[in-house]
Amino acid sequence: MSAEFVPLALIMFAFTYPSRAVGLLAPAIDRLPRPVLDYLQLVGPAVLTALAAVDVMVGVDNGETVLTIGLPWLSVGVCLLLVAWRRNLFIGLAAAVLIAIVGRAAGLG
Amino acid sequence: MADPAAPDAAPLELPEARRKLALDGLGIIVSAVGFGFVYGLAARTDAGFSPIDVMAMSVFAFGGAAQFAAVGYVASGVPWIVIGLLTGLLNARHILYSAALAPYFRGTGIGQRAVAAHVLTDESFALSIVHFRRLGRFDAFGYWFAAIGVTFIPWFFATLAGALLGEAIVDPERLGIDVIFPAAMIGLAVGLISGRRELVAAVVGAAVGVGVSLAVSTTVGVIAGGVIGPAVGLLVPKQEARETAPLGSEASADRYQMPHTIVERPVVEATDEDSEGGR
């Protein structure tokens, strides 16, 4: 069984642990400039939506990146609306998967 | 130590506070098991992680959003060192959590704080900060219960189960598994949006990510979206941001209580006597 990505896990640990530990081991971290803290707070939403959008909207065709339009747009859009409405990730995920299964069974691709 | 943040709250007795912590934890366990399973499945089918890789991720990286994001990075061919940097950025919010918890850990040993830091996640922060405020002081058992019992153990075994099952799935698209990753990313992003600034950062991050991906590559697109989105979000004036629950605050803990875990606030019936002698 492959362990190819174990070093990647260690790299991620190396880049994550400091942010988890710095406040507990060096409490003065809360004195970082306000704009820095504000920026850090906004990184999460930006990275996550960038990942989702690129995954759904961008495909590769003959080595070229192209805009793709398809069923995943609907799946992810419905998930977005449901999570925003119900504050429940599982309902959103279940709906997204269900739409994909039914849509593909119906030949929507 | 006395609660440094809520001098007027009437603290609960330890057994009652722990009972509430356990109840709150049930929702997190359900969430961790379900989401962890989905992660293991996605990691296996989308990025080709083996069960050993998934276990290593859950032990060393131990962060749902970061682990999920890494699946996308690997699938997009992002270099590992860049994945490390992006993971650091994505997890930078933990600075706020650890800073918020630091006053409660004052007086504990450095070894305990160092280990506690590794298992500090959105969920363990949410549970423990509420627990400490209910109690009005630090409770080591409460923290380890939240971080290890409620979060780490269910997450670890669920991700492993997902990876093991993922190996047996031949056609992930037919089962809709390919949409789990983007749907989970967007759902997690919704959980982090509490004001106009986050919303702008999220929308700009997505738009820049797609635009740059089409113009250059998906690798550069994801990085550009994650870096430029927050910068544009900061341009939203604070008065218009309406941030109701900045990260690192007790109120922000609520956003991680999906699905539908209710965090009950301690009933505040503070009188002058309570305030003076309650702790």
Residue B267: what pLDDT? 42
Nearest CB neighbour to B226, from listed A4, A43, A71 = A43
Residue B8: what pLDDT? 46
**Three-class secondary structure of residue B279 per DSSP:** coil
Q: How many residues does chain B have?
A: 279
User: Hey, are the CB atoms on B210 and A23 less than 8 Å from each other?
Assistant: no
**Three-class secondary structure of residue A84 per DSSP:** helix
Chain A residue with Cα closest to B63: A16
**Three-class secondary structure of residue B264 per DSSP:** coil
Q: How many CB atoms lie within 10 A of CB A81?
A: 14
Q: Which tens digits make up the pLDDT trace of A37-84?
A: 788 778 878 888 998 999 899 987 877 889 999 999 999 999 999 988
User: Hey, are the CB atoms on A51 and B72 less than 8 Å from each other?
Assistant: yes
Nearest CB neighbour to A5, from listed B49, B89, B181 = B49
Chain A residue with Cα closest to B94: A20
User: Hey, are the CB atoms on B180 and A52 less than 8 Å from each other?
Assistant: no
CA distance A96 to chain B (A): 7
Residue B50: what pLDDT? 93
SS3 content of chain B, % helix, strand, coil (to 5): 75, 0, 25
Q: Cα–Cα–Cα angle for B279, A28, B127, nearest 5°?
A: 50
Distance of CA B5 to the CA centre of its chain: 22
Mean pLDDT of A16-44: 79
Task: For residue B90, give the nearest of B258, B230, B244, B251 by alpha carbon.
Answer: B230
Task: For residue A10, give the nearest of B150, B154, B70 by alpha carbon.
Answer: B70
User: Hey, are the CB atoms on A76 and B63 less than 8 Å from each other?
Assistant: no
CA distance A59 to chain B (A): 9
Task: For residue B55, give the nearest of B145, B178, B153, B151 by alpha carbon.
Answer: B153
- Let me know: does B24 contact B257? Beta carbons within 8 Å: yes
User: Hey, are the CB atoms on B234 and A13 less than 8 Å from each other?
Assistant: no
pTM: 0.68
Tokens found for residue A9: 């896990």
DSSP one-letter string for B72-84: HHHHHT--HHHHH
Q: Is A51 exposed, middle or buried (0-12, 13-18, 19+ CB in 10 A)?
A: buried
Q: Show residues of chain B in contact with A23, CB under 8 Å.
A: 94-102
Q: Which tens digits make up the pLDDT trace of B112-124?
A: 999 999 999 878 8
Q: Show residues of chain A in contact with B35, CB under 8 Å.
A: 89-90
Residue B6 DSSP label: -
Nearest CB neighbour to A42, from listed B52, B113, B229 = B229
Q: Which residues of chain B have pLDDT under 70?
A: 1-10, 27, 170, 172, 239-279
Nearest CB neighbour to A50, from listed B60, B222, B231 = B222
Residue A74: what pLDDT? 95
Nearest CB neighbour to A5, from listed B53, B87, B174 = B53
Residue B195 DSSP label: S
ipTM score here?
0.85
Task: For residue B162, give the nearest of B45, B38, B29 by alpha carbon.
Answer: B38
Residue B4 DSSP label: S
Tokens found for residue A10: 């260690």
Q: Which tens digits make up the pLDDT trace of B10-28?
A: 678 889 989 988 887 886 7
